[in-house]
Amino acid sequence: MRQIGVFGISVMAKSNPPFMSGVPELLLLRLLHQREMYGYELVRSIRSVTSDAISLGEGVIYPALHGLERSGSLKSKRKTVAGRTRVYYSLTKKGRDRLDKLRDDWRRIQGGIETALETPCHA
């Protein structure tokens, strides 16, 4: 299966920002909607839930997390687990609203592409 890394997404985002730039954000918000997690856990979860189809560059997840926190969609807190201090992220009310919006946007795009793929071309 072809992997799309965040680096790949970033490159595409430069040429078409509204189309691809929300993908890592959507995935992060979706996963954090279930429970609070820290960065390493999130990368593993993204791989797991997307069956390795989307593999985030491990370090690149943090700018996205900090950006979402800055915009008020996430909140963070330090927790000591098994002797190690982790920064756990969780969703805020604003983040849930943002997730709903991104999900609707994504479904609309997905629906549009599926329609385009099913429509026979007469070029």
CA angle 65, 14, 108 (to 5 degrees): 75
Residues 45-64 that bind another protein (CB under 8 A): 57-60, 62-63
> If binding means CB under 8 A, how many residues of this protein chain bind another protein?
20
Closest approach of another protein to the CB of residue 93, in Å: 19
Site membership for another protein, residue 3 (CB under 8 A):
no
**Residue nearer to another protein on the CB measure, 39 or 99:** 39
Shortest separation between residue 71's beta carbon and another protein, angstroms: 7
Distances in Å between the Cα of 118 and the Cα atoms of 20, 85, 115, 121 are: 22, 50, 5, 9
> In the set 45, 73, 86, 99, which binds another protein (CB under 8 A)?
86
39 binds another protein (CB under 8 A): yes
Crossing angle, helix 93-118 and helix 23-34, to 10 degrees? 130
Question: In angstroms, rounded to a whole number, what is the distance separating the alpha carbons of residues 112 and 2?
Answer: 23
